[in-house]
């Protein structure tokens, strides 16, 4: 992964200023939210309604073109847009050859289980800044995020442990740790993560409600959830008897992209401070 990042960095640095990508397309929501935060929003993004449902903020500008499904975008539409650059992450590597017929393709590494997630987010931000001629904006975004976390840390002292979950159905939840964005933010705020078990390469584990019986802390539920799931979970007697639920009512947060970049880091940290730790 580090070699790939180095190569991407070199390619971005070698681009002359007047050839930096002006019209970008991306299938990946992490890249999309970061480009918006850099002041260089993509012309087109895959599954825009789902982006807003799962990422929440930053919102995509009005007029952003919906490219279709992330794993089955409209190649004809993308070809008509004639982008300067198509940005993907390793999740979409199998589509790189097809996308190359539309325009230059860059595969930006992110959330590799063998690498530090925080370093990967920072490097991804710098690479996007160089590719789009927004280097200064990228550095400001990284510095501003670090400053916000540092400022919030003393204000949230004593908060937690927190169990950060998303509802999968009325019997199962995704619980977050490891390389997940949620865990990275908790670490940098000095808030203990109540989940100490294993997680997958994406930083979460799908568990049944009984597996939470020995967990101590406060539950933070990040939206979205399948329609009606929250109501069914809240009426589940097993859920009601969990120590993490009996001790203190769960807090429900609006969507924050669990695989996000610096914008999602800022959003999640702000929500924890405002709605979980300070009330």
Residue 13 in tokens:
């640095």
Residues spanned by the domain of 258: 158-277
- Percent of the chain whose pLDDT exceeds 90: 84
In a domain? residue 153: no
- Upper half-sphere CA count for residue 56 (Cβ side, 13 Å): 19
In a domain? residue 244: yes
Asked whether residue 170 falls in the same domain as residue 241, the answer is yes
Asked whether residue 243 falls in the same domain as residue 164, the answer is yes
Asked whether residue 221 falls in the same domain as residue 173, the answer is yes
Q: Max CA-CA distance within the chain? A: 62
Domain boundary among 146, 175, 205: 146
| Partner residues linked to 207 by β-bridges | 173
Q: Assess whether pLDDT exceeds 70 at residue 27.
A: yes
pTM of the shown model: 0.90
In a domain? residue 152: no
Q: What confidence score (pLDDT) does residue 8 get?
A: 41
pLDDT band at 19 (very low <50, low <70, confident <90, very high): very low
Q: What confidence score (pLDDT) does residue 34 get?
A: 98
Q: What pLDDT, in 10s, does the model give residues 242-260? A: 999 998 899 999 999 999 9
Q: Assess whether pLDDT exceeds 50 at residue 6.
A: no
Q: Are the C-beta atoms of 42 and 24 separated by less than 8 Å?
A: yes
Domain boundary among 125, 146, 167: 146
User: Where is pLDDT greater, at 139 or 11?
Assistant: 139
In a domain? residue 174: yes
In a domain? residue 119: yes
Asked whether residue 95 falls in the same domain as residue 194, the answer is no
Asked whether residue 142 falls in the same domain as residue 167, the answer is no
| Partner residues linked to 68 by β-bridges | 73
Asked whether residue 162 falls in the same domain as residue 255, the answer is yes
Q: What is the mean pLDDT of residues 151-163?
A: 96
Is the omega angle on the peptide bond into residue 224 within 30 degrees of 0, that is, cis? yes
pLDDT band at 22 (very low <50, low <70, confident <90, very high): confident
DSSP state of 254: -
In a domain? residue 168: yes
Asked whether residue 112 falls in the same domain as residue 169, the answer is no
Q: What pLDDT, in 10s, does the model give residues 181-201? A: 999 999 999 999 999 999 998
Q: How far is C-alpha 113 from the chain's CA centre?
A: 15
| Partner residues linked to 49 by β-bridges | none
Asked whether residue 178 falls in the same domain as residue 53, the answer is no
Is the omega angle on the peptide bond into residue 58 within 30 degrees of 0, that is, cis? yes
DSSP state of 193: B
pLDDT band at 21 (very low <50, low <70, confident <90, very high): low
Asked whether residue 230 falls in the same domain as residue 116, the answer is no
Q: What confidence score (pLDDT) does residue 3 get?
A: 42
How far lies 268's CA from each of 74, 220, 240, 262, in Å? 32, 11, 26, 10
Give the burial string for 169-183 (b: 16+ CB within 10 Å, else e).
ebbbbbbbbbbbbbb
Number of structural domains in the chain: 2
From CA 97, how far away is CA 265, in angstroms rounded? 32
Which CATH number is 264's domain given? Answer: 3.40.50.1980
Q: What pLDDT, in 10s, does the model give residues 83-123? A: 999 999 998 999 999 999 999 999 998 877 677 889 999 99
Domain boundary among 146, 167, 201: 146
**Mean pLDDT for the chain overall:** 91
Q: What confidence score (pLDDT) does residue 279 get?
A: 66
Asked whether residue 138 falls in the same domain as residue 23, the answer is yes
Residues found in the chain: 279
Asked whether residue 75 falls in the same domain as residue 28, the answer is yes
In a domain? residue 151: no
Asked whether residue 209 falls in the same domain as residue 140, the answer is no
- Upper half-sphere CA count for residue 110 (Cβ side, 13 Å): 29
In a domain? residue 14: yes
pLDDT band at 13 (very low <50, low <70, confident <90, very high): very low
């Amino acid at each position: 992964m580090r070699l790939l990042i180095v190569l991407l960095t070199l390619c971005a640095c070698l681009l002359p200023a007047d050839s930096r990508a002006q019209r970008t397309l991306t299938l990946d929501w992490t890249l999309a939210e970061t480009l918006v935060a850099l002041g260089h929003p993509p012309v087109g993004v895959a599954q825009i309604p789902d982006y807003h449902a799962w990422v929440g903020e930053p919102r995509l500008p009005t007029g952003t073109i919906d490219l279709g499904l992330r794993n089955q975008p409209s190649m004809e539409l993308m070809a008509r847009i004639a982008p300067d650059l198509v940005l993907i992450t390793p999740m979409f590597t199998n589509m790189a050859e097809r996308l190359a017929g539309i325009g230059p393709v860059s595969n930006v590494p992110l959330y590799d289980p063998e690498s530090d997630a925080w370093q990967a987010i920072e490097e991804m931000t710098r690479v996007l800044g160089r590719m789009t001629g927004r280097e200064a904006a990228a550095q400001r975004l990284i510095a501003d995020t670090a400053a916000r976390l540092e400022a919030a840390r003393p204000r949230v002292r004593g908060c937690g442990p927190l169990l950060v979950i998303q509802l999968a159905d009325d019997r199962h939840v995704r619980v977050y740790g490891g390389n997940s964005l949620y865990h990275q933010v908790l670490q940098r705020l000095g808030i203990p993560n109540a989940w100490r078990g294993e997680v997958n390469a994406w930083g979460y584990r799908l568990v049944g409600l009984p597996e939470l019986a020995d967990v101590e802390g406060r539950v933070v539920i990040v939206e979205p959830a399948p329609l009606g799931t929250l109501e069914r979970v809240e009426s589940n007697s097993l859920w009601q008897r969990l120590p993490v639920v009996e001790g203190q009512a769960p807090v429900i947060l609006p969507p924050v992209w669990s695989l996000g970049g610096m914008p999602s880091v800022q959003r999640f940290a702000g929500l924890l401070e405002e709605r979980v730790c300070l009330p």
